[in-house]
Chain A
Amino acid sequence: MILLDRVTKTYSKVATPALDRVSIHVEPKEFVIVVGQSGAGKTTLLRLLTREEKPSSGKIIVGGIDYDKLRDKDIPLLRRKIGVVFQDFKLLPNRTVFENIAFALEIVGATNHEIRATVPKVLDIVNLKGKEKRMPMELSGGERQRVAIARAIVRQPKILIADEPTGNLDPKHAWDIIRVLEKINHYGTTVLLTTHNQEIVNKLKRRVITMQHGQVASDRDKAEYNL
């Protein structure tokens, strides 16, 4: 589902590379956790997958799409196949919760009927029923995070990328989010999660990729947090 082959990303010629010959292979329906300290290259890795950045060298293939052969005008099509929960949520500030989630569907040309049928279901999954008409400014951090997750899963993507989705949350809400991700994974979506939360990593018992200085330091199944 996701294949990185000796991917290197250098932001400037003199600096040490943000990613240094990283090779990762993720099977469909896998649940993978990427851990690593700040600056280890986690976010760069995710930005490469969403084609926000281009790799300096190496090959990336996601869902059968070879990024070397991807034309600019096809990038939107790629992004529609990947659900992303951004670290800073990236909600549209002047749209309601409902509109924010609906936007992901509007982009792909869903009918109003489809939107009215799908959005409430997703709101239900993330426990945001009754907050459809709120603006992002009126929500707590955890609620915004859940809106971001709802928006990422509403198109039922084959791949879900979540960048520190539990970052600002208390343990209870953090676990709510993780449960949602597990549920989505259970339905067949490949999940790529980055986190700092040691407890979550240890309890999940999933595949853990540890990044250090832009390199893959370890890649183990059913592993624990080992930084």
Chain B
Amino acid sequence: MKRKFITFSRIIQAGMVNFARNAWLAAAAMAVMIITLTIVLFSIITNATFANTIAQITDKIDVSVYLKDTTSEADGERLADDLRELPNVKGVTYLSKEEALDRYREQNANNPALLSAINETDNPIPATIQVKPRELNKLQDIKDFLNRTAPKKLWEDVSYRDDRKSAIDKIAHATNILQRAGIVAVLVFTLISMLIIFNTIQMAIFNRRDELTIMRLLGASTWYIRGPFVVETIIYGVLSAFISVLLIHSLFVASSSALQASSLGLLDIGYAASYFRGHFWQLLGMQVVLGILIGAASSIIATKRYLKFKTAK
């Protein structure tokens, strides 16, 4: 037990000494790691921000089903209930003719011409079922359902058609691409930078391969040899994680003072900054864990080759 502890503390110590001695290598490996982790962090924040923007857009869009005046309120309510059961439906509001009229008046409060046009006749606004979708690109499902199950006589028209339909479809298409691109970008960047880090560490270990071979010949166990490298790269990972978080932090500080606008194109910087601050500890923790994982994995794989025993006869 005591010997195990001595060995363990020696491994940690050797890793820290290596870290201090190999300043240049440390700088090179950490530079790559910092870039990776910063890109990953940035992509995650960007993704969250886009998701938020998309949610805001989706929230503003609903589909109105205009019922026939001949449809009874009970039938209308039943249709509303059926719609509520659909998987892509987030919420359904049933507006009777009167409620629909009230809403029309509210919406057009500062348009007296439209208001007076209504006042002159009796209520021309049909009872309406407002459907809030979960996903914009599946609106057709709702319309198909109406066409298929609800008897035509219950409803007159659906707002999801013509110009409005094509506008919604365009937005749905764009948000869809945005979401996918975000995920792909995170994955691609992580992969590329892991390859670079792995390569950097492998080069470092290649420089010290004689040392590894000698240790092996003297009877050092696998982890006694590998341990210090793993400790060293874990230190890179942890430091890089902190630096990447610091970088993103200063990026937000700089952008908030330098940029007057709160958004860059589709990227809502205000939301991104508040997301970063709101999830600061989770993001920092995630970066540290990621740094440790990338560091440990690359040094374990990179040392593997030099620790193999001859197996050929």
| Cβ < 8 Å to A, chain B residues 70-103 | none
* B310 touches which of A53, A73, A77 (Cβ 8 Å): A53
Interface of B is mostly: helix
Which one of B2, B222, B310 has the highest number of Cβ atoms from chain A below 10 Å of its Cβ? Answer: B310
Known contacts A50-B217, A79-B217, A79-B219; A109/B309 CB under 8 A = no
Report Cα–Cα, A17/B2, bound state, in Å. 47
**A93 touches B (CB below 8 Å):** yes
* B219 touches which of A72, A77, A86 (Cβ 8 Å): A77
> Within the complex, what minimum Cβ distance (angstroms) separates A65 from chain B?
13
* A76 touches which of B2, B3, B214, B220 (Cβ 8 Å): B220
- Do A52 and B217 have beta carbons less than 8 Å apart? yes
> Within the complex, what minimum Cβ distance (angstroms) separates A158 from chain B?
13
Known contacts A54-B310, A90-B217; A109/B211 CB under 8 A = no
**A217 touches B (CB below 8 Å):** no
> Within the complex, what minimum Cβ distance (angstroms) separates A164 from chain B?
16
* A84 touches which of B217, B221, B313 (Cβ 8 Å): B217
Known contacts A107-B224, A109-B3, A109-B6; A86/B217 CB under 8 A = yes
For residue B220, which residue of chain A has the nearest CB? A107
**B165 touches A (CB below 8 Å):** no
**A56 touches B (CB below 8 Å):** yes
* A72 touches which of B7, B214, B309, B313 (Cβ 8 Å): B309
* A103 touches which of B2, B210, B218, B221 (Cβ 8 Å): B218
**B264 touches A (CB below 8 Å):** no
Known contacts A76-B221, A77-B219, A109-B3; A90/B214 CB under 8 A = yes
Residues of A within 8 A of B177 (CB): none
Known contacts A53-B310, A93-B210, A109-B4; A80/B222 CB under 8 A = no
Residues of A within 8 A of B215 (CB): 92, 103, 107
Report Cα–Cα, A174/B10, bound state, in Å. 36
- Do B7 and A109 have beta carbons less than 8 Å apart? yes
For residue A53, which residue of chain B has the nearest CB? B310
Residues of B within 8 A of A75 (CB): 309
**B312 touches A (CB below 8 Å):** yes
Q: Interface size of B by Cβ–Cβ distance < 8 Å? A: 25
Residues of B within 8 A of A91 (CB): 214
**B311 touches A (CB below 8 Å):** yes
**A201 touches B (CB below 8 Å):** no
**B219-239 near A? 1/0 per residue, CB < 8 Å:** 111101000000000000000
* A107 touches which of B4, B218, B309, B310 (Cβ 8 Å): B218
| Cβ < 8 Å to A, chain B residues 1-25 | 2-4, 6-7, 10, 21
Residues of B within 8 A of A56 (CB): 313
> Within the complex, what minimum Cβ distance (angstroms) separates A46 from chain B?
11
Known contacts A50-B217, A79-B218, A86-B217; A55/B211 CB under 8 A = no
- Do B218 and A104 have beta carbons less than 8 Å apart? yes
> Within the complex, what minimum Cβ distance (angstroms) separates B247 from chain A?
33
Residues of B within 8 A of A79 (CB): 217-219
**A46-85 near B? 1/0 per residue, CB < 8 Å:** 0000111111110000000000000011011111100010
For residue A95, which residue of chain B has the nearest CB? B211
| Cβ < 8 Å to A, chain B residues 102-137 | none
**A140 touches B (CB below 8 Å):** no
Report Cα–Cα, A55/B312, bound state, in Å. 9
For residue B309, which residue of chain A has the nearest CB? A72
Known contacts A54-B311, A72-B309; A107/B219 CB under 8 A = yes
Residues of B within 8 A of A109 (CB): 3-4, 6-7
> Within the complex, what minimum Cβ distance (angstroms) separates A47 from chain B?
9
Residues of A within 8 A of B6 (CB): 109-111
Residues of B within 8 A of A76 (CB): 216, 219-222
For residue A106, which residue of chain B has the nearest CB? B10
Residues of B within 8 A of A110 (CB): 6
- Do A80 and B219 have beta carbons less than 8 Å apart? yes
Report Cα–Cα, A108/B210, bound state, in Å. 20
Report Cα–Cα, A109/B311, bound state, in Å. 27
Report Cα–Cα, A50/B217, bound state, in Å. 8
Report Cα–Cα, A77/B211, bound state, in Å. 19
- Do A92 and B220 have beta carbons less than 8 Å apart? no
**B197-211 near A? 1/0 per residue, CB < 8 Å:** 000000000000011
For residue B210, which residue of chain A has the nearest CB? A93
Report Cα–Cα, A77/B22, bound state, in Å. 30
| 23 A-B pairs (CB sep. < 8 Å) | A52-B310, A54-B313, A56-B313, A72-B309, A72-B311, A73-B222, A76-B216, A76-B219, A76-B221, A78-B219, A79-B218, A86-B217, A91-B214, A92-B211, A92-B215, A94-B211, A104-B218, A107-B215, A107-B218, A108-B3, A108-B219, A109-B3, A110-B6
Measuring CB to CB, which residues of chain B are less than 8 angstroms from any residue of chain A? 2-4, 6-7, 10, 21, 210-211, 213-222, 224, 309-313
